[in-house]
Every structure is written in structure tokens, then in C-alpha cells.
Structure 1
Amino acid sequence: MKNKVFVPTISLLAFTLCFVNLYSINTMYQDLSPARLGMYTTFYYLGYLVSQLPGGLFADKYGPKRLLIICIVLSGISTIALAFIDDPVLAYVMRIIGGLGSGPIMACASKLISNTFEDLRKRTGALGFLLCSPPLGLLMANSLTPFLLSMASRQVVLLLLGLLNLPVAILAIGFLKPTPKVQVKISILESVVVYRKSKTQVMLALVGFVFMFVVVGFGIWARKYYQYLGYSTTEINQLMTVFSVCAVLGAVVSGYLPVEHTKYLKVVFSVIGICFAVFAVLRSNLFVFSVLFGLIAYLPSAHFTAMAIELSPEKYRASAASLQNFFMQIGAFIMPTVTSVLLQCFGMYRMLWGFFAVLAFLASAMLWLLQKKPSQVYGNRAN
């Protein structure tokens, strides 16, 4: 029973700090140009993507505990280092290192949860708890970080945010049980082939790409958009905080909904598309929109990872989760560059939100191409 409490909790804390690392930089460096701000995000995701599959394979072969601890420490060090760096090139290097440290955490947490919860419904619920980490990290970036900045310098705030990783690493060392080394052969090529042979996995990878593109895009550019509309810093922080709180609730609840994954995702992506279409023309009632969109935006999260695990053999659960996350994070990786170009060419945030709406509707259409029942399910039942 203790393991079923500590595993989701420590996984949540570790994964949340990845997004504190990501989003807090955008909160602290609002004085930078959109292009420069986008580079901080791009370089973070470069390291994040590179470490995905190697991290998943290491977690499958040697167990997730050791790698998770290393990643937590490395992520914290990269944030602390930014406090003492003024050179932009070195700052970009630290962002890559931060991404390298954060990248395998999703695979490690997914492996820990899949080993702890064999029942698919309870596992999906635990994954929903884990995957409230992105909006929770955004919440901390938009509430805790401005609060700290009001009392201390940027350097001190970066130092404090990096040190948050220390107690999480200590908890992981003390309370996570080591997983025995897997004796069966683990192959990077085999893991990719097994993943690629499932049409459902491939389609989910494409849809996940769109999901991260539009949701991270909102998290990155919404602050700039509200500034463009003339909102004060206090009002912007309130809007982003409300969105993040509701997104955390939506992600947690999503994992416990008794739904069939594919049917559920079809509906949710259509609703996300409608939300972006409304946002493109909305000028008032943004508080209400933040509540509603927050509850909706992260509803798909747990179901992507749950399906990736269910559609993979047990020995490649972490690898499947990391491959799924890899394709999803490509969307987040290219998003800053693509959206920066769109904004420079058109100079209209309304165009950007309309573009996100189109992508969400396309994702919903792709899901309709999936078979009614996913093939190659390795869990105890197809969901």
C-alpha cells in the first residue's frame, strides 16, 4: 500500500519540476524578444528529445529508480547554473542539459506506475495523477515564480527553484524500491520495431504531436497575447494561474473516467479545437474561458500514456512510453520556431489561435481512422 502512495507522489513531484524548469524561464525572461524567448524553449526540448529513447531503454533494462534520481539532480543543477551565467550561448547549453535531465523522467515514472498498478483502470488513474504535472508546473511558474521575483532577484529565484529538486531526490532515494535488472534481451531496434508495427501507436504518436504543439503553444504564448490585449502583469498572472489550477484538476479527473480511450480522445480534441476557435475572437470573459479551457486542455494526457503501455509488451513499457513522449515532444520542440515565424509573418495572435484550432480538428479526424478496438494489446484487457 505504501508503494502505491509513494510511487505516484514522487513521480508527480519529479515530473512537475521538469515543467517548473521549462515555464519559469519564460516567466522570468519576459523582457526578451519572442525569438530569443522561443530559443530558451527550443534548446530545452532539444535535450529533452535526445534523452527520450535511451532513457526508456535504461529504465526497462536496469530499473527506473537510479535513472530517476540522476535526472532529478541534473535538472536541478541546470536551473541553478543559469543563476550564474550571463552569456547567451552558455545559457542555451544549460537549457540543453536541463532537457537531458528532464527527458527520461516520464519513462521512469511510467515504468514505476505500470509495475505498481497492474489493474488498467487504477493504472490510468495514477497516470492521470502523474500527468497533471505539466499544468502544475505551469501553475508554479505563473504563481510561485512571480511571487519570488517580487521579493528577490532573478539569480536568487533560479537558485531556489533548482534547490527544489534536492528534497525530491532524497525522497526517491529513501522510498522508491529498486527494480531487479531485467534478464531478457533488451534491444533498441526491437523496441522501435514493436512500436512501429502497431498502427494504433503510430496514429497516437501523430495525434500526440498535435496535442503538445497546441497545449504547450498556449502555455508559451498566452502571456504575450494578454500583454498584447493590454492586461496588467497581475491580471495575466491571475488568468494563467486559474487556467493552470483547472488544468491540474482536469488531468487528475481524466485518468479516473470510465471511458474507452479512443472514443474519448475523438471528442476531447474536437472540443479543444472549438476552444481555440473561440479564443481567437474572444475579447472579454477571459476568466471564464481560462476556467473552462483549463479543465479541458489536459484531458487527453493520461490516455496517451495508458494506451502506449497497454499496446506494448511488459519488457518495453518504459520504452513505449518514452517513444510516445518523444513524438509528442517533437510537437513542443518545433512549436516555438513555427509559431515565431507565423507571428513574425502575420503579426496576429488571432491567426495563431485559429491555426491551433485547425490542428486540433485534424487530430480528431485522424483518431476516427483508428480501428474500433486497438490491436496488439498486451495488458489484461483492451480499453
Structure 2
Amino acid sequence: MPCPPSDVQAFDAHATDADLEDLRARLTAARLPEAETVRGSGPGRHRWDQGVPLADLVDVVNYWRTGYDWRPFEERLNRIGQFRTTIDGLGIHFLHRRSARADAVPLILTHGWPGSIAEFVDVVDELADPGDAEAPAFHVVVPSLPGFGYSDKPAATGWGTEKIAAAWVELMGRLGYRRFVAQGGDWGGNITTVLGGRFPAHVLGIHTTFAAAPPGLTTDGLTAVERRWTEETRDFWRHRAAYAKQQATRPQTIGYALVDSPVGLLAWILDKFAEWTDTDDSPFETISRDRILDNVTLYWLTRTGASSARIYYESHNSLDPELRVDVPTAITMYPRDIEKCPRPWAKERYRQIVRWRSPEKGGHFPSLEAPAHFTRDLQEGLTAVLATNR
């Protein structure tokens, strides 16, 4: 593997024993509310109607305190390869896994909230050096968003999705990747859209699980399924998006609880993993407790509950309605995601959709819920994207 340029520095994650002991002490001393008043006699999503059920939270807190081990995840990050560089005065952390294949293409993967680089640790190796010799290979770069994980916390406003996308172009250039492909969902999908729309000279094409249509489009001509998608998305924003309004308007206020209380942080994030995954009763049907706790513990140890919430303050509803993406685009709409865009609407922004998929299963966190399917879908989608560039 080539040595990084001088303005890119190797980084190793290592939490102090004191920080891990403090976490366990806070979990032991946690004060919990009484149980929710919507308890039912059996499993089902109704149990979560008022938020994380007390019994579920107690179970996860006990495991976090007595059974969970942070060190294996920390070691996994170090094995993949971690680095930091400073862009526009802000330290940016990223994973970088170069492929052994001579035909590998640079790929940047961008996470969202309440995710992190933990979303991609189970897919990086297969993307870089796939077991199938016919599958495409990638030099994989996974940055931590500003204010997330081991990236620095912005000290002033301005780090919205447009600036982040420009920073990603700079980051990839520093690694020697003048042209690359990009993938993302959630905020990562928004940033990937900006990358494709603003930087076509650098972006060969994109794959996203988030397609943002321009505003004001009619439902005339949509299929019954597509109409249902629009209704479900509208219902989400009307009735289940209080977290987004809070973080878009008062991130500092909720931030005090998220940085001070590990149980509060866990509940705030676990609620979204429960609601946004394709499961019947619990997110742990598809994602392991360890992986969700890897994600939550990363937020806790880096004290990023407030700083990560500020991406909503910076960028909520800020995607330029006039932005158009002319680079080749592959889009996958998972059925249990929180926002689903009909293809006729998506085509109004993404002018060259070369592959469209809507699987029968999957939710908001496909790289965690079904990593093998996600990897295969991404490989096939980017194969279609790259074929257009030949």
C-alpha cells in the first residue's frame, strides 16, 4: 500500500480504560423512567408506539455494561486502515482500504445519522477484494462526517452538505483519486447527490438509496405502489419526524442529554434503528446488538451527540431544488426505508438513471441489515454506472 501524502496522517483508535470505566459507571447509576403505557401481550411494532420499551432498554443497557466489548471494533477499524487530514481548517477522519486489483476504481461511501462508519465495516473487504473475480473492485474510502466519530467538531456554522461534498472531492484528490464513484444513504445520499450534481468532472457516477426529487411534483401518472410510497413518506414527515425538527432547530438542547447520558444516547439512537429497519418487533432481528452498540459507543466515546445533530441545523431541507444530476446513477429503494421516491419523480433530478431496483426486503440501514445483498447490489449498480463511462 502506498504511503499516504504528507497532509494525510495515519490514525489509530484507542479509548482509554478510564473512559470505558466511566461508561460502565454511568450505565450502573442510570435513572430510568417507568414503563410505557402501551404495553401489549405479545411482540410487535405496537410495543414501540411511545418509543423504546423499558424492558428492551434495560436488556441492552445490561448487556452494554456487562457483556459488550468495545476493543474488537476498535481493532477492526485499525485493521481496515484509519487516517486523518485537515480540510478547510477541520480535521476529517476516514477509513481507507485499497484493493489489490489493478482495475480497482476509487469509491467513497458516506454514512448518515444516526449511523457512522460502523455502517460499512462489514462490507469494506468484499468491496475492495471481492471473492468473485468477475465482480468490480474498489479502493474504498469511508469518511466520518464533520462532527461525527473521529472527525473534528465544527466550531462555526457552514459545514452543510454542499461544503461536505466539496471536502470529499478534496479528500479523494489528496489520496490520488481525481475521478471516483460515490455511494450513500440518508445524509450520505444527500451528499452523494450533491457530489454527482456539482462535481461531474470528478464523479464518474453514483449509487444511492436516497433519491430526492425536486419539490412540487404531481402524483398524476404514478402507479398504485408509487402513490403508496408518497403517502408513507408524507406520513413519516408529518407524524414521525420530531427528532429531525428537534435537531434542525435546537440541536444544542438535546445535545446536553446525548453527551451526558449514555442511556439517553442509546435510547435516542435505538429508537431509530427499531423504527427504520425491516423487522417485526426489534432491530436485533437483523442487526446484532454488538454492531448497534459499536455505533452508539463510537458516538459516546467521541462526545458527538450534539455535534452530529447539527447537520440537521446546517442542512435540513437545504438541497437545491434546481440541482440536477447528469452523471450515471444507480438507485435502490428499500421497502421499509423512511423516504421512498417514485422513479418518475427521481428522473426529474437524476437525468441518467442506468439502474433502478426496489427489493422485496430491507430498510434504512441495508449495509447492516443485509450486508451481502447490499454489497452485491452496490457492485451491480456501479458496474452499470461504469459501463456508461466506457
TM-score above 0.5, yes or no? no
**TM bucket by the smaller chain?**
under 0.3
Q: Which structure has greater strand proportion? A: 2
The structure, 1 or 2, with the larger RCO (C-alpha pairs under 8 Å, 6+ apart) is: 1
Q: Which structure has greater helix proportion? A: 1
Taking structure 2 as the reference length, what is the TM-score of the superposition? 0.22
